[in-house]
Structure 1
Amino acid sequence: MTDTAVAWDTYARQRPERRRTNARGETTWFNWTQYEDHGPGAELLELPGGGRVLDLGCGKGGNAAHLAALGMRAVGVDVSPRQLAAARERWGQMSGLELLRAEAIRFLQEDLDGFDAVYSVYGVAWFTDPALLLPAIRERLRPGGRFVFSQRPPVEGCYGCQASYIPRGSDEDPLVVKRWDYQPEVWKQLLHRYGYTDVRAQVLAAPPGPRTVGTLIVQAGT
């Protein structure tokens, strides 16, 4: 497999910057899906006022910045220096936001303060073995905490560990990383196995338009 940091640095070069404002004129907002101005927001995390929240695979930091703007103590973790550089350039002066370069499992093992919520938006929860990640997150969630993640729904018949390709130049082979694809019911079974409660998993339909792939959103509590 490709070195993880190299893969996500390459991915970062291909991704556009988050818009300066959304359709409602807001300068920060939370988005679970691959579509602009679509789907639920930060309410899925059920955070208490001033709660501590972890973004696993924070990328360029927009979602974590929104939570900090709401008064949360937001920690964003990513392995990509390029992603974090972009996040710090735009959001680095925001109070309540901490952006760290770290590998997810190691960070969860070393940060002992705990979190009121942990989330992943097309991030670590999609690209880490759930047998390692789910118990590590559960160990760090405070009582009543929430774990929520979103990713693309699986292609029918293509379940479990899959190869995910990140394109490079026309004369270069793509980079390859692993991802984990499961149906909603299987995610529910896995989360229950590792001690989560109040588990919900559903595919949110795409908004009207030419694209039809929805978004899998999984929620679980402690």
Structure 2
Amino acid sequence: MTNTAWDTYSKQKPERRPTNAAGETTWFNWTQYADHGPGAEVLGIRPGATVLDLGCGKGGNLAHVAALDARAVGVDVSLAQLKAAESRWVDAGMVLHRTDAVWFLTESGEHFDAIYSVFGAAWFTDPTELLPAIRERLRPGGVLAFSQRPAIEGCYGCQASYINRSEDEDPLVVKRWDYEPERWVEILHQHGFTAATARVLPAPPGQRTIGTLLVRAHG
């Protein structure tokens, strides 16, 4: 079901633009809005770093990581998403794996200087399973960062997300995990992360009022 859901989502998600507002061919975007919010500096990536994208989708952010002279590794459960990433960023030098995030973290044996998720696996995986696995693979002092939509007031913990199909088909259901920023900080500290912060980035002027939750911590 999960693979089917994200393959369906891949067909609905528009392709990343050829260039951003600054004319760059690769860029990092934490939010759901174009040319908005911080960039890859959140991860503190240096040349030669090894960086993991959990739920890399069509590879736009990961291609920018590769352009920063880092080893760019991405995992996603959707074959359609990964094929799109391989087609668009064929020369980027990304390493892509079709697998579940927790399984990869548990079985790969590789360690990372930064691990991130942009509306990806960190939103759609039980944090009691994902965070310990990330903690094991994040090098000491490494950065974990993830972004997603803020929680709806009063709706916390495991929630249902819906991916629409045709009018004749029921929507596909996937689970997501929503918490207020203060609760994310507590959860990260409980799993051994340090210097955890969580904040909601406001939507850009003239857009909808839904901001973006951005969470960051050190291993």
Please, what TM-score do these two structures have when normalized by structure 1? 0.97
Post-superposition CA distance 1:28-59 (Å, at most 9, x none)? 00000000000000000012321000000000
* 2:46 paired with 1:48: yes
Q: Determine whether 1:157 maps to 2:154.
A: yes
Partner of 1:12: 10
Instruction: Verify the 8 A CA contact 2:45 2:68 in the aligned structure 1.
Output: no
| Percent of pairs with identical residues | 67
CA distance, structure 2, for counterparts of residue 92 and residue 135 of structure 1: 33
2: CA distance, partners of 1:48 / 1:68: 11
Q: Structure 1 CA distance, aligned partners of 2:3 and 2:70?
A: 28
| Cα distance in 2 for residues equivalent to 1:56 and 1:216 | 17
Match of 2:30 among 29, 32, 35: 32
Are 2:81 and 1:76 equivalent residues in the alignment? no
How many residue pairs end up in the alignment? 219
Alpha-carbon separation, structure 1, partners of 2:188 and 2:159: 20
Label 1:70 to 1:160 Cα distance change in 2 as closer, same or farther (>3 A): same
1:179 matches 2:176: yes
TM-score of the superposed pair, with normalisation by structure 2: 0.99
- 2:109 alignment counterpart: 112
- 1:64 corresponds to: 62
Q: How far apart are the structure 1 equivalents of 2:100 and 2:51?
A: 17
Match of 2:189 in 1: 192
Structure-2 residue corresponding to 1:206: 203
Partner of 1:130: 127
Aligned partner letter, 2:19 = T
- Please give the root-mean-square deviation of Cα atoms over the aligned residues, in Å: 0.7
1:98-135: CA deviations, max 9, x gaps?
A: 11101111100111120000000000000000000001
Give 2:78's aligned amino acid: S
Q: Which of 118, 122, 136 matches 1:121?
A: 118
Q: Which runs of 5+ in 1 are unaligned?
A: none
Gaps of 5+ in 2: none
CA contact 2:51–2:114 (8 Å) conserved in 1: yes
Q: How far is the alpha carbon of 1:210 from its aligned partner?
A: 3.6
CA offset at residue 171 of structure 1? 1.1
Q: Tell me which stretches of 4 or more aligned residues in structure 1 moved more than 6 Å.
A: none
Instruction: State the alpha-carbon separation in 1 of the partners of residues 110 and 155 from structure 2.
Output: 37
Distance across 1 between alignment mates of 2:118 and 2:107: 22
